[in-house]
A and B are shown apart, each in its own frame.
Chain A
Protein backbone atom coordinates (compact mmCIF):
# COMPACT_ATOMS: atom_id res chain seq x y z
CA UNK A 1 0.00 0.00 0.00
CA UNK A 2 1.45 3.38 -0.92
CA UNK A 3 1.40 6.45 1.27
CA UNK A 4 -1.12 8.38 -0.78
CA UNK A 5 -3.97 5.92 -0.71
CA UNK A 6 -6.21 5.94 2.34
CA UNK A 7 -6.27 3.09 4.80
CA UNK A 8 -9.23 0.72 4.81
CA UNK A 9 -10.61 2.25 7.99
CA UNK A 10 -10.39 5.79 6.64
CA UNK A 11 -12.18 4.74 3.45
CA UNK A 12 -14.94 3.05 5.45
CA UNK A 13 -15.33 6.12 7.66
CA UNK A 14 -15.56 8.38 4.63
CA UNK A 15 -18.19 6.14 3.07
CA UNK A 16 -20.16 6.07 6.33
CA UNK A 17 -20.21 9.85 6.47
CA UNK A 18 -21.30 10.07 2.83
CA UNK A 19 -24.14 7.64 3.48
CA UNK A 20 -25.23 9.57 6.57
CA UNK A 21 -25.23 12.88 4.72
CA UNK A 22 -27.17 11.39 1.80
CA UNK A 23 -29.68 9.80 4.13
CA UNK A 24 -30.25 12.90 6.24
CA UNK A 25 -30.33 15.10 3.13
CA UNK A 26 -33.04 13.00 1.48
CA UNK A 27 -35.00 12.90 4.70
CA UNK A 28 -34.72 16.65 5.26
CA UNK A 29 -35.72 17.50 1.66
CA UNK A 30 -38.64 15.10 1.57
CA UNK A 31 -40.21 16.69 4.65
CA UNK A 32 -40.43 20.40 3.83
CA UNK A 33 -41.25 22.69 6.68
CA UNK A 34 -44.89 23.67 6.79
CA UNK A 35 -45.37 27.26 5.79
CA UNK A 36 -48.08 29.12 7.56
CA UNK A 37 -49.69 32.42 6.74
CA UNK A 38 -49.53 33.91 10.16
CA UNK A 39 -49.52 33.29 13.85
CA UNK A 40 -50.71 29.79 14.78
CA UNK A 41 -53.11 29.05 17.52
CA UNK A 42 -52.09 26.56 20.17
CA UNK A 43 -54.59 24.13 18.71
CA UNK A 44 -52.99 24.44 15.26
CA UNK A 45 -49.55 23.88 16.72
CA UNK A 46 -50.71 20.68 18.44
CA UNK A 47 -52.35 19.33 15.32
CA UNK A 48 -49.28 19.74 13.17
CA UNK A 49 -48.89 23.41 12.58
CA UNK A 50 -52.08 23.91 10.63
CA UNK A 51 -50.94 21.66 7.79
CA UNK A 52 -53.28 19.32 6.03
CA UNK A 53 -51.42 16.24 7.24
CA UNK A 54 -49.12 15.43 10.07
CA UNK A 55 -45.61 14.81 8.78
CA UNK A 56 -42.55 12.97 9.95
CA UNK A 57 -40.34 15.72 11.37
CA UNK A 58 -37.16 16.51 9.45
CA UNK A 59 -33.75 15.62 10.94
CA UNK A 60 -32.98 19.22 11.77
CA UNK A 61 -35.94 19.24 14.14
CA UNK A 62 -34.76 15.93 15.68
CA UNK A 63 -31.31 17.39 16.25
CA UNK A 64 -32.75 20.43 17.95
CA UNK A 65 -34.79 18.14 20.15
CA UNK A 66 -31.76 15.99 20.89
CA UNK A 67 -29.71 19.03 21.81
CA UNK A 68 -32.46 20.30 24.04
CA UNK A 69 -33.00 16.94 25.78
CA UNK A 70 -29.34 16.05 26.15
CA UNK A 71 -28.43 19.42 27.61
CA UNK A 72 -30.70 18.69 30.60
CA UNK A 73 -31.00 14.88 30.76
CA UNK A 74 -32.02 14.51 34.40
CA UNK A 75 -34.82 17.03 34.93
CA UNK A 76 -37.96 15.74 36.61
CA UNK A 77 -41.23 17.63 36.11
CA UNK A 78 -43.54 14.96 37.43
CA UNK A 79 -44.70 11.53 36.17
CA UNK A 80 -45.16 12.43 32.51
CA UNK A 81 -42.20 14.70 31.99
CA UNK A 82 -38.81 13.33 32.96
CA UNK A 83 -35.41 13.80 31.32
CA UNK A 84 -34.13 11.19 28.87
CA UNK A 85 -31.31 10.33 31.25
CA UNK A 86 -33.76 9.37 33.99
CA UNK A 87 -35.82 7.23 31.62
CA UNK A 88 -32.75 5.43 30.29
CA UNK A 89 -31.46 4.93 33.83
CA UNK A 90 -34.72 3.22 34.79
CA UNK A 91 -34.51 0.92 31.77
CA UNK A 92 -30.85 0.12 32.38
CA UNK A 93 -31.57 -0.62 36.03
CA UNK A 94 -34.29 -3.11 35.06
CA UNK A 95 -32.23 -4.71 32.30
CA UNK A 96 -29.11 -5.10 34.41
CA UNK A 97 -30.99 -6.39 37.47
CA UNK A 98 -32.92 -8.97 35.45
CA UNK A 99 -29.84 -9.88 33.47
CA UNK A 100 -27.55 -10.45 36.44
CA UNK A 101 -30.21 -12.38 38.34
CA UNK A 102 -30.50 -14.59 35.26
CA UNK A 103 -26.71 -14.99 35.11
CA UNK A 104 -26.71 -16.02 38.76
CA UNK A 105 -29.08 -18.88 37.95
CA UNK A 106 -28.13 -19.70 34.35
CA UNK A 107 -24.37 -20.06 34.76
CA UNK A 108 -24.40 -22.55 37.68
CA UNK A 109 -27.21 -24.60 36.10
CA UNK A 110 -25.40 -24.43 32.75
CA UNK A 111 -22.31 -25.77 34.52
CA UNK A 112 -24.33 -28.59 36.03
CA UNK A 113 -25.94 -29.71 32.78
CA UNK A 114 -22.68 -29.22 30.89
CA UNK A 115 -20.84 -31.54 33.25
CA UNK A 116 -23.55 -34.14 33.76
CA UNK A 117 -25.14 -35.79 30.71
CA UNK A 118 -27.94 -37.07 32.95
CA UNK A 119 -28.80 -33.57 34.16
CA UNK A 120 -28.61 -32.36 30.57
CA UNK A 121 -31.05 -34.98 29.31
CA UNK A 122 -33.37 -34.42 32.26
CA UNK A 123 -33.55 -30.64 31.88
CA UNK A 124 -33.45 -30.47 28.09
CA UNK A 125 -37.22 -30.98 27.51
CA UNK A 126 -38.03 -28.14 29.93
CA UNK A 127 -35.55 -25.82 28.26
CA UNK A 128 -36.83 -26.67 24.80
CA UNK A 129 -40.43 -25.88 25.77
CA UNK A 130 -39.73 -22.75 27.82
CA UNK A 131 -37.16 -21.20 25.52
CA UNK A 132 -39.39 -20.32 22.52
CA UNK A 133 -41.97 -18.55 24.70
CA UNK A 134 -42.02 -14.83 24.01
CA UNK A 135 -40.92 -13.16 27.24
CA UNK A 136 -43.91 -10.84 27.09
CA UNK A 137 -46.26 -13.79 27.30
CA UNK A 138 -45.12 -14.17 30.89
CA UNK A 139 -46.18 -10.63 31.72
CA UNK A 140 -49.81 -11.26 32.83
CA UNK A 141 -48.75 -14.20 34.96
CA UNK A 142 -45.89 -12.18 36.44
CA UNK A 143 -48.18 -9.25 37.19
CA UNK A 144 -50.67 -11.55 38.90
CA UNK A 145 -48.11 -13.45 40.97
CA UNK A 146 -45.66 -10.65 41.80
CA UNK A 147 -48.33 -7.91 41.95
CA UNK A 148 -45.77 -5.25 41.18
CA UNK A 149 -45.28 -3.84 37.71
CA UNK A 150 -41.67 -2.80 38.34
CA UNK A 151 -40.67 -6.29 39.50
CA UNK A 152 -42.68 -7.88 36.70
CA UNK A 153 -40.65 -5.99 34.11
CA UNK A 154 -37.47 -7.24 35.78
CA UNK A 155 -38.89 -10.76 35.75
CA UNK A 156 -39.55 -10.53 32.01
CA UNK A 157 -35.94 -9.47 31.46
CA UNK A 158 -34.80 -12.30 33.70
CA UNK A 159 -36.75 -14.92 31.79
CA UNK A 160 -35.60 -13.73 28.35
CA UNK A 161 -31.93 -13.48 29.22
CA UNK A 162 -31.68 -16.82 30.99
CA UNK A 163 -31.82 -19.10 27.92
CA UNK A 164 -28.86 -17.99 25.79
CA UNK A 165 -26.64 -17.93 28.89
CA UNK A 166 -27.85 -21.33 30.05
CA UNK A 167 -27.40 -23.01 26.69
CA UNK A 168 -24.04 -21.41 25.94
CA UNK A 169 -22.66 -22.22 29.38
CA UNK A 170 -23.76 -25.85 29.06
CA UNK A 171 -22.26 -26.07 25.57
CA UNK A 172 -19.01 -24.41 26.60
CA UNK A 173 -18.60 -26.59 29.68
CA UNK A 174 -19.46 -29.81 27.85
CA UNK A 175 -16.90 -29.04 25.16
CA UNK A 176 -13.93 -28.21 27.35
CA UNK A 177 -10.98 -30.16 25.93
CA UNK A 178 -10.43 -33.44 27.71
CA UNK A 179 -6.72 -32.61 27.98
CA UNK A 180 -7.49 -29.69 30.27
CA UNK A 181 -9.64 -31.88 32.48
CA UNK A 182 -6.81 -34.43 32.57
CA UNK A 183 -4.40 -31.71 33.66
CA UNK A 184 -6.77 -30.93 36.52
CA UNK A 185 -7.02 -34.62 37.41
CA UNK A 186 -3.28 -35.28 37.38
CA UNK A 187 -2.85 -32.24 39.63
CA UNK A 188 -5.37 -33.68 42.10
CA UNK A 189 -7.70 -30.69 41.91
CA UNK A 190 -11.02 -31.14 43.68
CA UNK A 191 -14.32 -30.64 41.84
CA UNK A 192 -14.69 -27.01 42.93
CA UNK A 193 -11.12 -26.07 42.02
CA UNK A 194 -11.42 -27.90 38.70
CA UNK A 195 -14.58 -25.94 37.94
CA UNK A 196 -13.10 -22.58 38.91
CA UNK A 197 -9.49 -22.91 37.75
CA UNK A 198 -9.85 -25.03 34.63
CA UNK A 199 -13.40 -25.38 33.31
CA UNK A 200 -14.54 -21.80 33.93
CA UNK A 201 -11.63 -20.13 32.12
CA UNK A 202 -11.77 -22.75 29.35
CA UNK A 203 -15.49 -22.18 28.79
CA UNK A 204 -15.42 -18.43 29.49
CA UNK A 205 -15.40 -17.30 25.84
CA UNK A 206 -18.49 -19.39 25.07
CA UNK A 207 -20.21 -18.24 28.27
CA UNK A 208 -19.49 -14.61 27.39
CA UNK A 209 -20.97 -15.14 23.93
CA UNK A 210 -24.16 -16.30 25.64
CA UNK A 211 -24.12 -13.27 27.95
CA UNK A 212 -23.67 -10.94 25.01
CA UNK A 213 -26.63 -12.47 23.17
CA UNK A 214 -28.67 -12.24 26.37
CA UNK A 215 -27.97 -8.58 27.04
CA UNK A 216 -28.91 -7.81 23.43
CA UNK A 217 -32.23 -9.62 23.77
CA UNK A 218 -32.86 -8.01 27.17
CA UNK A 219 -32.44 -4.55 25.68
CA UNK A 220 -34.85 -5.43 22.86
CA UNK A 221 -37.44 -6.75 25.29
CA UNK A 222 -37.28 -3.93 27.86
CA UNK A 223 -38.81 -1.42 25.41
CA UNK A 224 -41.85 -3.63 24.82
CA UNK A 225 -42.11 -4.53 28.50
CA UNK A 226 -42.07 -0.89 29.58
CA UNK A 227 -44.68 0.01 26.97
CA UNK A 228 -46.90 -2.51 28.77
CA UNK A 229 -46.14 -1.69 32.40
CA UNK A 230 -45.81 2.07 31.93
CA UNK A 231 -44.70 4.63 34.47
CA UNK A 232 -41.01 5.02 33.73
CA UNK A 233 -38.32 3.83 31.36
CA UNK A 234 -37.40 4.42 27.75
CA UNK A 235 -40.14 2.10 26.45
CA UNK A 236 -42.75 4.05 28.35
CA UNK A 237 -41.17 7.28 27.09
CA UNK A 238 -41.54 6.22 23.44
CA UNK A 239 -45.16 5.26 23.93
CA UNK A 240 -45.95 8.38 25.96
CA UNK A 241 -44.48 10.65 23.27
CA UNK A 242 -46.54 8.79 20.67
CA UNK A 243 -49.63 9.51 22.75
CA UNK A 244 -48.50 13.16 22.91
CA UNK A 245 -48.19 13.04 19.08
CA UNK A 246 -44.60 14.23 19.50
CA UNK A 247 -42.91 12.30 16.68
CA UNK A 248 -39.70 14.28 17.11
CA UNK A 249 -39.28 12.84 20.59
CA UNK A 250 -40.20 9.39 19.31
CA UNK A 251 -37.44 9.50 16.70
CA UNK A 252 -35.01 10.95 19.21
CA UNK A 253 -35.74 8.16 21.70
CA UNK A 254 -35.43 5.49 18.99
CA UNK A 255 -31.92 6.79 18.31
CA UNK A 256 -31.11 6.76 22.02
CA UNK A 257 -32.30 3.13 22.32
CA UNK A 258 -29.94 2.23 19.50
CA UNK A 259 -27.00 4.08 21.05
CA UNK A 260 -27.44 2.57 24.51
CA UNK A 261 -27.89 -0.91 23.00
CA UNK A 262 -24.65 -0.45 21.12
CA UNK A 263 -22.85 0.62 24.28
CA UNK A 264 -24.08 -2.45 26.17
CA UNK A 265 -22.92 -4.70 23.35
CA UNK A 266 -19.54 -2.97 23.15
CA UNK A 267 -19.04 -3.39 26.88
CA UNK A 268 -19.63 -7.14 26.62
CA UNK A 269 -17.48 -7.38 23.51
CA UNK A 270 -14.70 -5.84 25.58
CA UNK A 271 -15.09 -8.41 28.37
CA UNK A 272 -15.28 -11.15 25.76
CA UNK A 273 -11.93 -10.08 24.34
CA UNK A 274 -10.44 -10.12 27.82
CA UNK A 275 -11.34 -13.78 28.48
CA UNK A 276 -10.57 -15.02 24.99
CA UNK A 277 -7.57 -17.27 24.55
CA UNK A 278 -5.79 -18.75 21.61
CA UNK A 279 -5.10 -22.47 21.56
Chain B
Protein backbone atom coordinates (compact mmCIF):
# COMPACT_ATOMS: atom_id res chain seq x y z
CA UNK B 1 0.00 0.00 0.00
CA UNK B 2 1.14 3.49 -0.77
CA UNK B 3 2.16 5.54 2.24
CA UNK B 4 -0.14 8.53 2.79
CA UNK B 5 1.29 11.96 2.03
CA UNK B 6 0.75 13.28 5.52
CA UNK B 7 0.58 11.12 8.63
CA UNK B 8 -0.45 12.52 11.97
CA UNK B 9 0.39 10.15 14.80
CA UNK B 10 -0.53 10.40 18.48
CA UNK B 11 -0.80 14.16 18.29
CA UNK B 12 -1.53 15.60 21.76
CA UNK B 13 -1.57 19.12 23.11
CA UNK B 14 -1.57 19.82 26.82
CA UNK B 15 -1.21 23.14 28.59
CA UNK B 16 0.68 23.18 31.89
CA UNK B 17 -1.33 23.37 35.09
CA UNK B 18 -2.44 26.75 36.35
CA UNK B 19 -2.05 27.47 40.05
CA UNK B 20 -4.20 25.04 42.01
CA UNK B 21 -5.58 23.28 38.94
CA UNK B 22 -4.61 20.34 36.84
CA UNK B 23 -3.07 20.46 33.42
CA UNK B 24 -5.40 21.01 30.51
CA UNK B 25 -5.44 18.45 27.74
CA UNK B 26 -6.96 20.10 24.69
CA UNK B 27 -6.86 17.03 22.46
CA UNK B 28 -5.01 13.76 22.62
CA UNK B 29 -4.00 10.91 20.42
CA UNK B 30 -5.15 12.42 17.17
CA UNK B 31 -4.31 9.94 14.41
CA UNK B 32 -5.20 10.57 10.80
CA UNK B 33 -3.66 10.84 7.41
CA UNK B 34 -4.14 12.89 4.27
CA UNK B 35 -3.52 11.65 0.76
CA UNK B 36 -1.83 13.69 -1.92
CA UNK B 37 -4.29 15.94 -3.72
CA UNK B 38 -6.98 15.38 -1.15
CA UNK B 39 -9.24 18.14 0.19
CA UNK B 40 -9.87 17.46 3.87
CA UNK B 41 -12.05 19.53 6.18
CA UNK B 42 -12.05 19.32 9.94
CA UNK B 43 -15.14 20.24 11.94
CA UNK B 44 -15.63 20.49 15.67
CA UNK B 45 -16.95 22.81 18.31
CA UNK B 46 -14.88 25.72 19.60
CA UNK B 47 -12.24 24.62 22.07
CA UNK B 48 -11.64 21.19 20.57
CA UNK B 49 -8.23 22.27 19.34
CA UNK B 50 -8.79 22.44 15.57
CA UNK B 51 -6.80 25.63 15.31
CA UNK B 52 -4.02 24.14 17.40
CA UNK B 53 -3.82 21.16 15.03
CA UNK B 54 -3.65 23.61 12.15
CA UNK B 55 -0.94 25.67 13.84
CA UNK B 56 1.07 22.52 14.51
CA UNK B 57 0.69 21.56 10.85
CA UNK B 58 1.83 25.07 9.90
CA UNK B 59 4.80 24.76 12.23
CA UNK B 60 3.75 27.74 14.33
CA UNK B 61 2.97 25.59 17.38
CA UNK B 62 4.48 22.40 18.77
CA UNK B 63 2.63 19.32 19.99
CA UNK B 64 3.13 18.01 23.53
CA UNK B 65 3.28 14.47 22.21
CA UNK B 66 3.18 12.84 18.82
CA UNK B 67 4.24 14.19 15.49
CA UNK B 68 3.46 14.83 11.86
CA UNK B 69 5.26 13.29 8.93
CA UNK B 70 4.82 14.96 5.56
CA UNK B 71 6.36 13.46 2.44
CA UNK B 72 8.61 11.21 4.53
CA UNK B 73 9.95 14.02 6.71
CA UNK B 74 8.90 15.12 10.16
CA UNK B 75 7.46 18.62 10.40
CA UNK B 76 9.49 20.96 12.56
CA UNK B 77 8.93 24.68 12.25
CA UNK B 78 7.22 26.66 9.51
CA UNK B 79 8.03 26.05 5.88
CA UNK B 80 7.07 27.32 2.45
CA UNK B 81 5.94 23.76 1.71
CA UNK B 82 2.91 24.58 3.81
CA UNK B 83 0.96 27.67 2.82
CA UNK B 84 -1.44 29.17 5.32
CA UNK B 85 -4.56 31.28 4.85
CA UNK B 86 -5.60 32.73 8.19
CA UNK B 87 -9.12 33.74 9.12
CA UNK B 88 -8.12 37.37 9.59
CA UNK B 89 -6.45 37.49 6.14
CA UNK B 90 -3.01 38.36 7.56
CA UNK B 91 -2.10 40.58 4.67
CA UNK B 92 0.61 43.13 5.32
CA UNK B 93 -1.39 46.39 5.46
CA UNK B 94 1.43 48.62 4.19
CA UNK B 95 1.73 46.65 0.93
CA UNK B 96 -0.68 46.68 -1.99
CA UNK B 97 -2.55 43.48 -2.88
CA UNK B 98 -0.07 42.76 -5.66
CA UNK B 99 2.93 43.41 -3.44
CA UNK B 100 1.50 41.08 -0.81
CA UNK B 101 1.47 38.28 -3.37
CA UNK B 102 4.91 39.31 -4.61
CA UNK B 103 6.09 39.09 -0.99
CA UNK B 104 5.13 35.41 -0.93
CA UNK B 105 6.36 34.58 -4.42
CA UNK B 106 9.78 36.16 -3.98
CA UNK B 107 10.21 34.34 -0.67
CA UNK B 108 9.39 31.06 -2.41
CA UNK B 109 11.43 31.64 -5.55
CA UNK B 110 14.34 33.89 -4.53
CA UNK B 111 16.24 33.32 -7.78
CA UNK B 112 13.41 34.34 -10.11
CA UNK B 113 13.77 37.62 -11.96
CA UNK B 114 11.63 40.53 -10.80
CA UNK B 115 9.51 40.50 -13.93
CA UNK B 116 8.87 36.77 -13.60
CA UNK B 117 7.81 37.23 -9.98
CA UNK B 118 5.40 40.03 -10.93
CA UNK B 119 3.98 38.05 -13.84
CA UNK B 120 3.44 34.97 -11.67
CA UNK B 121 1.80 37.06 -8.92
CA UNK B 122 -0.52 38.79 -11.36
CA UNK B 123 -1.57 35.46 -12.82
CA UNK B 124 -2.76 34.26 -9.42
CA UNK B 125 -4.51 37.54 -8.64
CA UNK B 126 -6.32 37.23 -11.97
CA UNK B 127 -7.46 33.74 -10.94
CA UNK B 128 -9.26 35.22 -7.95
CA UNK B 129 -10.61 38.11 -10.00
CA UNK B 130 -8.41 40.95 -8.74
CA UNK B 131 -7.63 42.96 -11.83
CA UNK B 132 -8.15 46.38 -13.37
CA UNK B 133 -6.40 48.44 -10.70
CA UNK B 134 -7.79 46.66 -7.64
CA UNK B 135 -4.50 44.81 -7.27
CA UNK B 136 -2.72 48.10 -6.55
CA UNK B 137 -4.95 48.94 -3.60
CA UNK B 138 -3.91 48.48 -0.01
CA UNK B 139 -5.80 45.85 2.02
CA UNK B 140 -7.63 48.56 4.00
CA UNK B 141 -9.15 49.79 0.72
CA UNK B 142 -10.47 46.33 -0.17
CA UNK B 143 -13.60 44.59 1.08
CA UNK B 144 -13.33 41.55 3.34
CA UNK B 145 -14.01 39.22 0.41
CA UNK B 146 -11.37 40.87 -1.72
CA UNK B 147 -8.83 40.65 1.08
CA UNK B 148 -9.47 36.94 1.51
CA UNK B 149 -9.10 36.51 -2.25
CA UNK B 150 -5.67 38.15 -2.06
CA UNK B 151 -4.78 35.88 0.83
CA UNK B 152 -5.84 32.80 -1.15
CA UNK B 153 -3.94 34.03 -4.20
CA UNK B 154 -0.81 34.47 -2.09
CA UNK B 155 -1.12 30.96 -0.66
CA UNK B 156 -1.72 29.32 -4.06
CA UNK B 157 0.98 31.38 -5.76
CA UNK B 158 3.74 29.86 -3.63
CA UNK B 159 2.47 26.42 -4.74
CA UNK B 160 2.85 24.74 -1.35
CA UNK B 161 2.70 20.97 -0.97
CA UNK B 162 -0.01 21.44 1.62
CA UNK B 163 -2.42 24.34 1.81
CA UNK B 164 -3.82 25.12 5.25
CA UNK B 165 -7.02 27.14 5.46
CA UNK B 166 -8.07 28.31 8.92
CA UNK B 167 -11.78 29.17 8.63
CA UNK B 168 -11.02 31.28 5.58
CA UNK B 169 -14.61 32.34 5.03
CA UNK B 170 -15.61 32.76 8.66
CA UNK B 171 -15.67 36.55 8.57
CA UNK B 172 -17.50 36.88 5.24
CA UNK B 173 -21.17 37.32 4.48
CA UNK B 174 -23.02 34.36 3.00
CA UNK B 175 -23.15 35.64 -0.58
CA UNK B 176 -19.47 36.52 -0.77
CA UNK B 177 -18.64 33.23 0.90
CA UNK B 178 -20.49 31.34 -1.82
CA UNK B 179 -18.65 33.13 -4.61
CA UNK B 180 -15.25 32.60 -3.09
CA UNK B 181 -16.02 28.94 -2.34
CA UNK B 182 -16.73 28.49 -6.05
CA UNK B 183 -13.49 30.24 -6.94
CA UNK B 184 -11.58 28.10 -4.47
CA UNK B 185 -13.01 24.88 -5.94
CA UNK B 186 -12.18 26.05 -9.43
CA UNK B 187 -8.58 26.90 -8.59
CA UNK B 188 -8.16 23.76 -6.52
CA UNK B 189 -9.50 21.40 -9.17
CA UNK B 190 -6.87 22.60 -11.62
CA UNK B 191 -3.99 22.32 -9.20
CA UNK B 192 -3.87 18.88 -7.53
CA UNK B 193 -3.25 20.83 -4.36
CA UNK B 194 -3.55 19.02 -1.03
CA UNK B 195 -5.77 21.11 1.25
CA UNK B 196 -6.53 20.91 4.96
CA UNK B 197 -9.26 23.29 6.04
CA UNK B 198 -10.98 24.23 9.28
CA UNK B 199 -14.60 25.22 9.01
CA UNK B 200 -17.72 25.63 11.12
CA UNK B 201 -19.99 25.40 8.15
CA UNK B 202 -21.35 21.92 7.39
CA UNK B 203 -22.55 22.84 3.89
CA UNK B 204 -19.22 24.39 3.04
CA UNK B 205 -17.44 21.21 4.13
CA UNK B 206 -19.64 18.97 1.97
CA UNK B 207 -19.35 21.24 -1.05
CA UNK B 208 -15.57 21.49 -0.93
CA UNK B 209 -14.07 18.40 0.60
CA UNK B 210 -13.32 14.79 -0.20
CA UNK B 211 -13.32 13.85 3.44
CA UNK B 212 -14.51 15.48 6.63
CA UNK B 213 -12.87 14.82 9.99
CA UNK B 214 -15.12 15.16 13.00
CA UNK B 215 -13.75 16.10 16.39
CA UNK B 216 -15.41 15.51 19.75
CA UNK B 217 -15.71 18.35 22.23
CA UNK B 218 -12.70 19.37 24.29
CA UNK B 219 -11.02 19.00 26.68
CA UNK B 220 -9.61 15.57 25.83
CA UNK B 221 -10.98 16.02 22.32
CA UNK B 222 -10.13 13.50 19.64
CA UNK B 223 -10.72 12.94 15.96
CA UNK B 224 -13.59 10.48 16.15
CA UNK B 225 -14.82 10.01 12.60
CA UNK B 226 -13.72 10.44 9.06
CA UNK B 227 -16.73 11.04 6.81
CA UNK B 228 -16.17 10.38 3.12
CA UNK B 229 -18.10 12.74 0.86
CA UNK B 230 -19.33 10.43 -1.90
CA UNK B 231 -20.56 13.10 -4.24
CA UNK B 232 -18.91 13.23 -7.65
CA UNK B 233 -17.07 16.34 -8.80
CA UNK B 234 -17.40 18.86 -10.23
CA UNK B 235 -19.94 19.92 -7.65
CA UNK B 236 -22.23 22.83 -8.13
CA UNK B 237 -23.79 24.58 -5.18
CA UNK B 238 -27.16 24.78 -6.89
CA UNK B 239 -27.21 21.12 -7.96
CA UNK B 240 -25.54 19.49 -5.01
CA UNK B 241 -28.54 20.17 -2.77
CA UNK B 242 -30.71 18.01 -5.05
CA UNK B 243 -28.56 14.96 -4.45
CA UNK B 244 -29.87 12.63 -1.75
CA UNK B 245 -26.33 11.76 -0.69
CA UNK B 246 -25.96 15.40 0.28
CA UNK B 247 -28.66 15.15 2.92
CA UNK B 248 -27.45 11.82 4.23
CA UNK B 249 -24.00 13.28 4.78
CA UNK B 250 -25.39 16.54 6.09
CA UNK B 251 -27.66 14.80 8.57
CA UNK B 252 -24.81 12.63 9.73
CA UNK B 253 -22.62 15.68 10.34
CA UNK B 254 -25.33 17.70 12.07
CA UNK B 255 -26.26 14.75 14.23
CA UNK B 256 -22.64 14.32 15.25
CA UNK B 257 -22.16 17.99 16.06
CA UNK B 258 -25.45 18.35 17.88
CA UNK B 259 -25.37 15.16 19.92
CA UNK B 260 -22.52 12.72 19.62
CA UNK B 261 -19.65 15.20 19.83
CA UNK B 262 -20.79 15.81 23.39
CA UNK B 263 -21.53 12.15 24.21
CA UNK B 264 -18.17 11.00 22.92
CA UNK B 265 -16.22 13.77 24.61
CA UNK B 266 -14.10 12.71 27.52
CA UNK B 267 -14.14 9.12 26.27
CA UNK B 268 -10.53 8.28 26.83
CA UNK B 269 -10.68 4.52 26.21
CA UNK B 270 -10.37 4.63 22.46
CA UNK B 271 -6.69 3.79 22.82
CA UNK B 272 -5.54 6.11 20.09
CA UNK B 273 -7.28 4.21 17.32
CA UNK B 274 -7.65 6.06 14.02
CA UNK B 275 -11.03 7.65 13.29
CA UNK B 276 -13.80 5.36 12.07
CA UNK B 277 -14.43 5.83 8.37
CA UNK B 278 -18.09 6.54 7.63
CA UNK B 279 -19.67 6.76 4.18
CA UNK B 280 -23.24 7.97 4.65
CA UNK B 281 -23.69 8.75 0.96
CA UNK B 282 -22.26 5.54 -0.57
CA UNK B 283 -25.46 3.69 -1.58
CA UNK B 284 -26.54 6.73 -3.48
CA UNK B 285 -24.39 6.48 -6.55
CA UNK B 286 -26.97 4.66 -8.65
CA UNK B 287 -30.26 6.23 -7.68
CA UNK B 288 -29.96 9.64 -9.24
CA UNK B 289 -33.61 9.55 -10.22
CA UNK B 290 -34.80 9.50 -6.67
CA UNK B 291 -37.87 11.58 -6.14
CA UNK B 292 -37.89 14.64 -3.92
CA UNK B 293 -40.46 13.11 -1.52
CA UNK B 294 -38.01 10.32 -0.78
CA UNK B 295 -35.43 12.70 0.48
CA UNK B 296 -34.54 12.12 4.08
CA UNK B 297 -35.89 14.67 6.47
CA UNK B 298 -33.61 17.37 7.82
CA UNK B 299 -32.67 16.88 11.42
CA UNK B 300 -33.26 19.88 13.60
CA UNK B 301 -30.15 21.31 15.25
CA UNK B 302 -32.22 23.25 17.77
CA UNK B 303 -32.88 21.80 21.25
Interface residues of chain A, those whose CB is within 8 Å of chain B, are: 179-180, 182-183, 185-189, 197-198, 201-202, 204, 275, 277-279
Contacts and interface: CB of A to CB of B under 8 A. Distances in A.
12 contacts: A179-B90, A180-B92, A185-B77, A186-B82, A186-B84, A187-B104, A187-B107, A187-B158, A188-B79, A188-B80, A277-B94, A278-B138
B93 A277 contact: yes
Interface of A is mostly: helix
Nearest to B140: A278
Contact of B60 (A185, A201, A277): A185
Interface in B139-186: 140, 158
B88 interface: yes
Contact of A179 (B77, B88, B94): B88
A183 B92 contact: yes
B266 interface: no
B86 A182 contact: yes
Contacts of A204: 94
A11 B88 CA distance: 44
A180 B90 CA distance: 7
A278 B107 contact: no
B60 A182 contact: yes
Nearest to B100: A183
Contact of A183 (B59, B77, B90): B90
Q: Which of B78, B82, B104, B138 has the most CB of A within 10 A?
A: B78
Nearest to A185: B78
Contacts of B5: none
A186 B92 contact: no
Contacts of B79: 186, 188
A187 B60 CA distance: 11
A179 B58 CA distance: 13
Q: Which of B60, B93, B94 has the most CB of A within 10 A?
A: B94
Contact-residue bracket for chain B: 20 to 34
Given A179-B90, A277-B94, A277-B138, A188 B107 contact: yes
Contacts of A187: 80, 103-104, 107-108, 158
B83 interface: yes
B9 to A, nearest CB: 23
A162 B84 CA distance: 40
B60 A279 contact: no
Interface in B3-26: none
> Which 5 pairs, one residue from A and one from B, show the smallest C-beta to C-beta distance?
A278-B140, A277-B94, A187-B107, A185-B78, A179-B90
B211 to A, nearest CB: 24
Interface in B58-109: 58-60, 77-80, 82-84, 86, 88, 90, 92-94, 103-104, 107-108
Contacts of A185: 59-60, 77-78
A202 B60 CA distance: 20
Contact of B93 (A186, A188, A189, A279): A279
A197 B83 contact: no
A246 B107 CA distance: 65
Nearest to A277: B94
A278 B78 contact: no
Interface string B254-272: 0000000000000000000
A179 B86 contact: yes
Contact of B78 (A188, A201, A275): A188
Contact of A186 (B58, B94, B138, B140): B58
A278 B59 CA distance: 29
Contacts of B78: 185-186, 188
Contact of A182 (B82, B90, B94): B90
B139 to A, nearest CB: 8
A198 to B, nearest CB: 7
Contacts of B58: 186
Given A185-B59, A187-B107, 11 more contacts: A179-B90, A183-B90, A185-B60, A186-B59, A186-B82, A186-B83, A187-B104, A187-B158, A188-B107, A198-B92, A278-B140
B59 to A, nearest CB: 7
Contacts of A188: 78-80, 107
Contacts of B86: 179, 182
A202 B108 CA distance: 22
Nearest to B89: A179
A200 to B, nearest CB: 10
A188 B80 CA distance: 6
A204 B94 CA distance: 10
Contacts of B103: 187, 197
Contacts of B92: 180, 183, 198, 201-202
Contacts of A183: 90, 92
Nearest to A279: B93
Given A201-B94, A278-B93, A186 B88 contact: no
A202 B107 CA distance: 18
Contacts of B60: 182, 185-186
Q: Which of B103, B104, B158 has the most CB of A within 10 A?
A: B103
